[in-house]
Structures are given as structure tokens and as C-alpha cells.
Amino acid sequence: MNRIDEKFSELQSTGKKGLFPFLVAGQPDMETTTELIKQLERVGAAGIELGFPFTDPVADGPVIQSAFTEALKKSITVEKIFSGLADARAEISIPIVAMVSASIVYKIGVDKFLDKAKSAGFDGFIIPDLSLEEAPTIAEKVAQRDLRLAMLIAPTSPYERQRKIAQTATGFLYYMSVAGITGERDKLPEDLADNVAHLKEISGVPVIVGFGIKGPEQVKLVCSIADGAIVGSAIVRRITQAVEEEKPREQIIQIVSNFVSELISKSGIS
């Protein structure tokens, strides 16, 4: 069974919810990223969403955009990301999901990219700029390799479009709690619970929520209605600050793992 399916099956059987931290691959270098993945599994992360740096991200806010830019300046490449995860995979068992632009996938070639990603140890993909028309073809190729294609759903998407997206998604649905771009927010939308409930009704896969989640109380709220939460900008910002303060790798890893551990323990989802 695919590791994404295994993780959600495990969570559901124990009545727990999952925290899925988002990391920018290569921030500040690939060695730090792979060590972070290992440590975040140790403190209880259910899985990792690993962002492939890209020059023109679709929905990422300034914090993640800046981290992408810095990673690209340091010549992070797709091959380096694959190599880094492959080196770490023997030591980790949690699912790793690639957040990657469709242009990267198509430039390398869909089949070649998927084969390399599977060999490296990825379990699934989120392709934010993949059109709904192209998604079924990619989903079929992904399924042939026992991988998963999670799909993004925005709160502004019409119900009929949501239904089509839900029918295409495998692994899980990623619900964007707010319209617009990623970034920490003080308050989540009041209609979040209703929207997630609707998606759970029309989908046969777990629903996790991202965008705007920055602290334990929001993780607790999201996980009371969904199957898990994704936290990105709050983590990436901490890494950026630590790098600017010229902290060594060990301290960067400790800062992030302490924060993720706090999100899990104080939200009560552990």
C-alpha cells in the first residue's frame, strides 16, 4: 500500500489527526532539508510536503516565494532534490509529497519525472498549476506507479468543479482555507467547517487543510473538522530568520522541530 494511504489508515484507526509540515527543498541547503525531514518524523509529523523551488509559484505568498528564490540562487535542482530524498528515505517511513509546478514535470517529461520521483522515495504529488482537464491523464500515470495525486480545492471553486476535483484526487484532498496566497493569518474563515464537511461528503479520500495556519489553536480547530493540517509559512519563516541570524544547521533543525512538536502537543492531536 502507498505510504499516504497507510498513514491515513493508521490515523483513522487510532482516532488521530495528522500534521503535515511544509518545507522548501534546499532551504538553506539540501542537507538541512533532509535532516529536518528525519527530525520532524521523530517529533510526530504525519508526513512532509516538500516544495520544489520555482521562479513563478502560483499560490505561494512572500515568505515561501523568498525561500524559493534563495534556494534557486544556491542552484538547487530537481536532481539534487531527488538525490537528497533518496539518501534520507532509508531512515524515514512517513509519506513525502512533492509540491511541484506542472511546468517542471512537463519539462522533464511526465513519465521520466514520475519514475525518478518514485525511485527517490516520493509517495505523491500536489501540482497546483495542473489544469483540471489535464489532471485525469496525470492521475492515471501516477496511479500506474502506485503513487498518489492530491488535488487543491479553493473556497471559491463552484460546487460542480469541487466535485470533479474530488473525483480526480487520490491520496487526499488539499483544501485551501482561504482564497489567495499562502501566509500566516490570525483568524480562519467562519465557513471552514461547513466547507470541509461538504468535501468529506463528496470525496472518497481524506481532506486536509492548509493556508493561513500558524499556531496550535488553529491546528486544533482544523483537525477537529478535517483529517489533518498543513503548516508552511510559519515554518519557512522560522528557517529564514534562523539563516539570517547565521545560526548553524543544528540550531535551525532544533528551532523547527521544537515548533512542530509544540504544534502537535499543544493542539492535542498527538
- C-alpha grid cell, residue 250: 543544528
Contact 71, 27 (CB under 8 A): yes
The catalytic residues are 49, 60
Cα 143 to Cα 74, 96, 100, 256: the distances in Å are 33, 16, 17, 33
Residue 171 has pLDDT above 50, yes or no: yes
Look up cell 460546487; give the residue: 159
DSSP-assigned states of every residue in 57-123: -SS--HHHHHHHHHHHHTT--HHHHHHHHHHHHTT--S-EEEE--HHHHHHH-HHHHHHHHHHHT--
Q: Do you know the residue count of the chain?
A: 270
Average pLDDT rounded to a whole number, residues 200-220? 91
Mean pLDDT lowest for which of 52-61, 179-188, 220-229? 179-188
Which letter, b or e, does each residue of 57-82 get, where b requires 16 or more Cβ atoms within 10 Å of its Cβ? bebbbebbbbbbebbeeeebebebbb
Q: 222-249 pLDDT, tens per residue?
A: 999 999 999 999 999 999 999 999 999 9
Residue 33 has pLDDT above 60, yes or no: yes
Contact 154, 121 (CB under 8 A): no
Residue 28 has pLDDT above 70, yes or no: yes
Note the pLDDT of residue 185.
47
- Give the integer Cα–Cα distance in Å for 220 and 70: 32
**Percent over 90 (pLDDT), the chain:** 84
Helix (H) or strand (E) holding 37: helix 30-42
Note the pLDDT of residue 19.
98
Residue 184 has pLDDT above 60, yes or no: no
Identify the band that residue 183 occupies on the pLDDT scale cut at 50, 70 and 90. Answer: very low
Residue 10 has pLDDT above 90, yes or no: yes
Average pLDDT rounded to a whole number, residues 249-265? 98
Note the pLDDT of residue 131.
93
Note the pLDDT of residue 59.
57
Instruction: For strands 207-210 and 228-231, give the pairing.
Output: parallel
- Give the integer Cα–Cα distance in Å for 94 and 80: 20
- Give the integer Cα–Cα distance in Å for 59 and 65: 9
* pTM higher than the cut 0.75: yes
Residue 56 has pLDDT above 80, yes or no: no
Residue type, 157: S
Note the pLDDT of residue 137.
96
Helix (H, G, I), strand (E, B) or coil at 59: coil
Q: 104-152 pLDDT, tens per residue?
A: 999 999 999 999 999 999 999 999 999 999 999 999 999 999 999 999 9
Identify the band that residue 190 occupies on the pLDDT scale cut at 50, 70 and 90. Answer: confident
Note the pLDDT of residue 181.
45
Structural domains of the chain, ranges and CATH numbers in brackets:
17-261 (3.20.20.70)
Residue 58 has pLDDT above 70, yes or no: no
Average pLDDT rounded to a whole number, residues 11-17? 96
pLDDT higher for 56 or 152? 152
Look up cell 528557517; give the residue: 239
Residue 178 contacts by C-beta under 8 Å, 6 or more apart in sequence?
155, 185, 188, 189, 211, 212
Identify the band that residue 62 occupies on the pLDDT scale cut at 50, 70 and 90. Answer: confident
Q: What are phi and psi of 90, to 5 degrees?
A: -65, -20
Beta strand spans in the chain (E): 18-24, 48-51, 96-99, 124-126, 148-153, 173-176, 207-210, 228-231
Identify the band that residue 262 occupies on the pLDDT scale cut at 50, 70 and 90. Answer: very high
